[in-house]
Amino acid sequence: MRYLTFALTKGRLADKTMELLNKAGITCREMQDKNTRKLIFVNEDLKMKFFLSKGPDVPTYVEYGAADIGIVGKDTIMEEGRNIYEVLDLGFGKCRMCVCGPQEARECLKHHELIRVATKYPNIAKDYFYNKKNQTVEIIKLNGSIELAPIVGLSEVIVDIVETGSTLRENGLTVLEEVCPLSARMVVNQVSMRMENQRITELITSVNKVLKEERDIIL
What residues line the site for ligand PRP (CB under 6 A)? 120, 144-147, 160-167
Query: How many angstroms separate the Cα of 86 from the Cα of each of 44, 72, 187?
Result: 27, 10, 4
**Who contacts 153 (Cβ-Cβ below 8 Å, separation ≥6)?**
none
Q: Give least dist CB 148 to ligand PRP, A.
A: 9
Output DSSP code: residue 31: G
In the complex with ligand PRP, which residue's Cβ is closer, 146 or 184? 146
Q: Which is nearer to ligand PRP, 48 or 159 (CB)?
A: 159
Rank residues 98 and 137 by Cβ distance to ligand PRP and give the closer one: 98
Q: How far is the CB of 152 from ligand PRP (least distance, A)?
A: 15
* Minimum CB distance to ligand PRP smaller for 109 or for 161: 161
Q: For the CB of residue 57, give the shortest distance to ligand PRP in the complex, in Å.
A: 16
Helix (H) or strand (E) holding 8: strand 4-9
What's the min distance (Å) between Cβ of 145 and ligand PRP?
Answer: 5
Least distance from C-beta 143 to ligand PRP, angstroms? 7
Using CB atoms within 10 Å of the CB of residue 91, give its burial: 0 to 12 exposed, 13 to 18 middle, 19+ buried. middle
Distances 82 to 74, 86, 117, 166, 213 between C-alpha atoms, Å? 12, 10, 24, 32, 31
- Nearest CB to ligand PRP, comparing residues 20 and 159: 159
The C-alpha atoms of residue 18 and residue 205 are separated, in whole angstroms, by: 16
The number of residues in the chain equals: 219
Q: Nearest approach, Cβ of 185 to ligand PRP (angstroms)? A: 18
Report d(CA 77, CA 176) in Å as an integer.
Answer: 23
Q: Of 90 and 159, which has the nearer Cβ to ligand PRP?
A: 159
Residue number, nearest CB to ligand PRP: 144
